[in-house]
Amino acid sequence: MEGTRKEHWWRDAVIYQIYPRSFQDSNGDGIGDLRGIIQRLDYLKELGIDAIWLSPVCKSPQDDNGYDISDYQDIDPMFGSLDDMEELIKEAKKRNIRIIMDLVLNHSSDEHRWFQEAKKSKDNPYHDYYVWRDGKEGVYPNDMRSVFGGPAWEWVPELEQYYFHQFSVKQPDLNWENPKVRREIYDMILWWMEKGAGGFRLDVIDQIAKEPDQKITNNGPRLHEFIQELSRETFQKGDLITVGEAWGADIERAKLYSNPDGSEFSMVFQFEHIGLDQQEGKSKWDVAPLPVVKLKQVLAKWQRELHGCGWNSLFWNNHDLPRIVSRWGNDQKYRVESAKMLATLLHGMQGTPYIYQGEELGMTNVRFADISQYQDIETLNMYKERLDEGYSKEEIMNSIYAKGRDNARTPMQWSGEVNAGFTKGTPWLEVNPNYTKINAESELSDPDSVFYYYQKLIRLRKEHSVFVNGEFTLLMEEDPQVFAYIRKEGDTEVLVCANFSETPAACDLLSEWKDGEVLIWNYKEKGETGVLRPYEAMMIRR
């Protein structure tokens, strides 16, 4: 790994996210599980990834699909057992793949033993593990709202108190002000480290230092103090990849989160680019067209500003976001071209690329006819809320088609067999009907597939240290179609160039770079000089 500092060995790694429920069912109950993942490790090895980020598999009543944990030190029976987990870690390790666990530390499930105790009485030792305020029934401490709709306060009559929940009623917020809570969390993390966890992704970590009386949810005053203590007490004792999820991160905070001295995390997920296709000042459901020039500016800013003093996570997708090829590509006529174009742009940048399951197949959004076919708590709550507010069903369904989280959660499409080869039973969420055409089996039998394109991008990152270390310069800044940039390390330069639209785009860069070596290209034959065809993309080195 030339040019990579030893302690930052993970900087050329590529991470694959698995949403266990939807990846592979091994026992016919319609829900993906750990043994299913073990069966598919060779597929992931073939793709070439270095680590798997597993969305939560701990014990949970599944109110928010596992992001509501009732026992941090056990596996939900739906996914398997602790033994299965240890086997997964072991089998992955054999293939040089590490397992990154999802830590949900802002809140627990209301079915967690701590919360069961906490609500027994005000002087129960666990009461102060959560965030309570005195009050009167019906008179909320303030008007804060939960991310999933409704008030952020829930009344417990026996205590005559409200508890605070930034997410669902079944996800009470943990009280990080309480040193005992922090100690319990650290011990639990150390226990997972001993079990061989190779890293952690920290759910909504920017929200742990909330101050509800000030109506502060993210970026609370003690946030970085808490994170530095957490890192010192746990991660720094091992050799891990860690990534914090922080919707509220700006550049300055990201530099703290991903400080190369290792005082917080390896890197952070920031979401500035993710919010660009919504109406100003409104929610994600109020969809607007993507301003491509703005997208270029935002990504270029993050590239420039973290260079040398932080580290980016690179992602288009996760289990909360719609499928990128449907969102910012074209999932019909140019599905393959645009999926590859988006991958080229992302994997050419500095940072750690994340691939969300199925992204490497060019999987698309889904359009279920009826709301009863949807499962996600956020979508279902929004549907009710907006119906009450007078939106038409059609408007609401269109928002769901564009932004609903179930778009990412339909089962992984393995083959053209029944239920896409995901399960022999009834899948917990219906498969996308396009599985007959889009599936891993057919991708693996086609040398020009999206899968092999991702495989090649991953390999390029390992072969050329310029992708890991190089400086980033945006070209053609004001051009609304062409997204182009240069990466430069020493004498090596790579041009990454793409047409971010479905109409031909004028671009002189290709003739300037005609003597360079084409590293990857999503079209086969040469086109007209000075023109990029729909979604045409390439990397050229000189």
> Whole-angstrom Cα distance, residue 444 to residue 181?
47
Helix (H, G, I), strand (E, B) or coil at 359: helix
- The residues, any chain, with a CB within 8 Å of residue 203's CB and separated by 6 or more, are 56, 67, 102, 103, 104, 105, 106, 245
Report the relative pairing of strands 58-59 and 71-75 from DSSP bridges: antiparallel
**Does 165 engage in binding with ligand TEU (CB under 6 A)?**
no
Shortest distance (Å) from residue 31 CB to Ca ion:
4
**Does 27 engage in binding with Ca ion (CB under 5 A)?**
yes
Nearest residue (CB) to Ca ion, 29 versus 286: 29
**Does 84 engage in binding with Ca ion (CB under 5 A)?**
no
Answer for which of 4, 8, 29, 43 binds Ca ion (CB under 5 A) is 29
Q: Of ligand TEU, Ca ion, none, which one sits near residue 31, judging by CB under 5 to 8 A according to partner kind?
A: Ca ion
CB 85 within 8 A of CB 52: no
Answer for which of 33, 110, 206, 320 binds ligand TEU (CB under 6 A) is 320
Alpha helices in 195-250 (DSSP H): 223-233
Shortest distance (Å) from residue 438 CB to Ca ion:
23
Nearest residue (CB) to ligand TEU, 25 versus 64: 64
Active site includes 528?
A: no
**Does 426 engage in binding with Ca ion (CB under 5 A)?**
no
**Does 276 engage in binding with ligand TEU (CB under 6 A)?**
no
Q: Of ligand TEU, Ca ion, none, which one sits near residue 203, judging by CB under 5 to 8 A according to partner kind?
A: ligand TEU
**Secondary structure E strands in 172-322:** 199-202, 241-245, 267-269, 313-314
> Whole-angstrom Cα distance, residue 358 to residue 435?
11
Answer for which of 15, 104, 209, 314 binds ligand TEU (CB under 6 A) is 104
Shortest distance (Å) from residue 537 CB to ligand TEU:
28
> Whole-angstrom Cα distance, residue 410 to residue 366?
8
- The residues, any chain, with a CB within 8 Å of residue 540's CB and separated by 6 or more, are 494, 495, 497, 513, 516, 517, 518, 519
Q: Cα separations (Å) of 124 from 116, 117, 127?
A: 10, 7, 5
Active site includes 272?
A: no
Shortest distance (Å) from residue 237 CB to ligand TEU:
26
Structure tokens belonging to residue 128:
């102060």
**Does 284 engage in binding with ligand TEU (CB under 6 A)?**
yes
**Does 25 engage in binding with Ca ion (CB under 5 A)?**
yes
Q: Of Ca ion, ligand TEU, none, which one sits near residue 25, judging by CB under 5 to 8 A according to partner kind?
A: Ca ion
CB 3 within 8 A of CB 466: no
Stretch that binds Ca ion, among 20-28, 152-160, 348-356, 479-487 (CB under 5 A): 20-28
Structure tokens belonging to residue 418:
């029944």
Binding site for Ca ion (CB under 5 A): 25, 27, 29, 31, 33
Residues known to be catalytic? 203, 245
Binding site for ligand TEU (CB under 6 A): 64, 67, 104, 147, 167, 203-204, 247, 284, 319-320, 378, 405
